[in-house]
Structure 1
């Protein structure tokens, strides 16, 4: 398994769009997620989407974005849109994708990284520190996390 920028494997753009739309979107938001994925394919520039691939098969994705929570634009950059193919879950791929983004952000010189999640308990296992709650649009409570690089 290798983790590469999506621009290196553009054939997976549609699958990543569908994953993100189905996991995080609403019935009428596919075009919105297609736009998100398309704008995260610029070589060596943030925001970036990474793809985890085994051979030719896409098994997961994660992003490094300037902003993932509109109500907290004061925090950046963000680990965003972590998604693992259902058949690949429970094998440590989530941790590998997190670590890839952590190392990439560290290499860019950022002192910390942020993420938000509706669930609690998962990210703490990997060293993320809970820093409080926030709101996702329009009024969904979420948990905020920071990782010191």
Structure 2
């Protein structure tokens, strides 16, 4: 059984409905924006797709000793790939909203398996759209508080573990 080494959680603004995790010193332009897909992978990054762009989402980042066990029922969608994390430091790109640096430090630079997952995308998107029917004053306290109550309910996960070396040598 693999051991959890480190974990971090943050709220992320899904600017234009997307955000990206990448190596802190090595911004990646090889990943395409996911469009209608849940995720898109580049050589050195992953894009996540949200159904909305106005409510901050929860991003859980985890570093594992080896590939962690997985429960498909806990998440609504997932995908796995291998990415290069050249410095071992994971950051978030929130597009025009900015970014967050140094969110997770992996044991060492290199190639990592990464499993990404999401849950509650549709629920939060639908709840956010319903606020426009509930509140006349979109600048009022009621709308703002209801929107804030949705923050973090839409969740994303990124689990990293060292990828096997090519050729099987150590």
TM-score, normalized by length of structure 1? 0.27
Computing the radius of gyration over CA atoms, which structure comes out larger, 1 or 2? 2
Higher relative CO (Cα under 8 Å, sequence separation at least 6) belongs to 2
Q: Larger % of strand: which?
A: 2
Q: Larger % of helix: which?
A: 1
